[in-house]
Chains A and B, each alone.
Chain A
């Protein structure tokens, strides 16, 4: 029984000479909420845009409901967009400042359901505004009249109006106040119809933890760990995941069952021996890494033979379940 919505294979995106997304493979099933975590420079936003073909990957395939989005003609691609939507990070920037909020939300309807009468359209927009916690009278207002949290709700309304099968959320709560973040995340949980999958991109591990079934960890363009959420947070396997979890500042009152630090030294404090080009211990490595080999080798406390050219010329594949095994 195949309810795989999205199948990404060998996806690679180049910006000029260097690869920002390098050989990414993963699947997404209907109804799943999958978190994609990584820091700046990891390529996670680029990956999201590549999936939607908002930019053209250098190679690979993105199969959405069986159809390869990267190879289909523009008209077919546009038809598929109905089922595949995105909410962006900056709430205000993702709304056209010269259109009213109602017009913005109605636009997908105009494109995909041109037969709808204006009245029916207005009705749907009003209903959608209610569902995201705003009132339908607000449809005549302009984006700059709303707060960040409200703008994000409008962005979600626009994305959800056609009931997409897959919703990509690109850092949607990162620019919001902490007390508002919960509102938006809870809204997402409420709106998640049966069968809608969510790809939740975030650098905020704590939010991902409470929201997602599975987590993908990305570093320098590659997926370094894929695991069910509980397993990832309880016992992360890849050294980068460990470093990431160890670096999250803890609040005193929380029961501190932190991810175990890498044996010998706390990986995030930068005592790791690093070869030449890395800016600072622990910093994301300079982007002139060769395409082969483990992405984390320069910073990894376990890496053997750190000379850049010689390190593990073959990328280690990610195992099927639940996380990959590394050499001890």
Chain B
């Protein structure tokens, strides 16, 4: 209904309005709180524990979670403290997820907006390129890069980001195509704005809503993908840890020492759930049309 849409916006403009809406969504607030807790814990948590992630504690091999030796989450097969190790692994996974998302966001948005706005043959060519790249089997691509460049974390960033931008570009292009027909774009052209100006000032701000939401929802996918690669032995290697490698180790010990799997597994599950709920909440908050 017209009435509420015409209320005067309070301080902060459209972004402030979105934040306000997010705040009134209890699930989203809980998700944000959980995410903040996880991030804070991964950075500060290790300070609280006397253990570190590399030390092998021969006295407490595969120990249950408890108070002995201050191994609150227990230890793994080599006697390493799971609490600190899991936090370290979570740090790595989050870093990879964020970095790869940012890369795919920057590359994907630029690529998609330009293809969608310019259209015609340029768009055609750009989309064919994406289709070719999408067709490449992902795992082989990563293995191929690993063989050439060795196993480093940077390679991982690159591989994941290089793949993640493809879908982002498609989404942005689709959004751009629908924006392009709208009258305010015609008005901008009629006002003499150049193509570059229109893309930056008019197209991008109007597609950024769905894009941010999609980005939030790709972080979990990327973390999962990284976990999968690490599980296969293609990602983070010993003695480094990521949630994926920890889960791989835990899977091997599942029957004898289930906590080795459960601890990183629960953290991963909580992380992904919070990100997804946050993404949903963000989508509702950014949607200008009232429900």
Q: In the complex they form, do A and B come into direct contact, defined as C-beta atoms under 8 angstroms apart?
A: yes
Residue positions of A touching B, CB distance < 8 A: 49, 52, 54, 78-79, 81-82, 84-86, 88-90, 93-100, 107-108, 111-112, 141-142, 144-147, 155, 158
Cβ contact within 8 Å between A108 and B192: yes
> Chain A: which residue is nearest B185 at the CB level?
A96
Q: A97-B206, A98-B206, A144-B288 are in contact. Are A54 and B189 (CB under 8 A)?
A: yes
Whole-angstrom distance between the alpha carbons of A99 and B205 in the complex?
9
Whole-angstrom distance between the alpha carbons of A232 and B106 in the complex?
58
Cβ contact within 8 Å between A108 and B191: yes
Give the most central of A49, A54, A147: most B CB within 10 Å. A54
> Chain B: which residue is nearest A86 at the CB level?
B190
Kindly identify, within residues 167 to 208 of chain B, every residue whose CB is under 8 Å from any CB belonging to chain A.
Answer: 182-184, 186-194, 197, 201-202, 205-206
Q: A144-B5, A144-B288, A147-B6 are in contact. Are A54 and B194 (CB under 8 A)?
A: no
Cβ contact within 8 Å between A95 and B8: no
Whole-angstrom distance between the alpha carbons of A98 and B8 in the complex?
15
Give me 15 other A-B pairs in contact (C-beta within 8 A), A81-B190, A86-B187, A90-B183 excluded.
A79-B192, A85-B190, A86-B190, A95-B187, A96-B184, A96-B188, A107-B191, A107-B193, A108-B192, A111-B194, A142-B9, A144-B5, A145-B8, A145-B9, A155-B187
Cβ contact within 8 Å between B184 and A93: yes
Enumerate chain B residues within 8 angstroms of A96, measured Cβ to Cβ.
184, 188, 202, 205-206
Specify which of B9, B186, B206 is in contact with A54 (CB 8 Å cutoff): B186
Cβ contact within 8 Å between B7 and A145: yes
Give the most central of A85, A94, A98, A158: most B CB within 10 Å. A98
Enumerate chain A residues within 8 angstroms of B206, measured Cβ to Cβ.
96-98
Enumerate chain B residues within 8 angstroms of A79, measured Cβ to Cβ.
192
Whole-angstrom distance between the alpha carbons of A93 and B185 in the complex?
9
Cβ contact within 8 Å between A158 and B13: no
Q: A96-B206, A142-B9, A142-B14 are in contact. Are A81 and B187 (CB under 8 A)?
A: no
Enumerate chain A residues within 8 angstroms of B6, measured Cβ to Cβ.
144-147
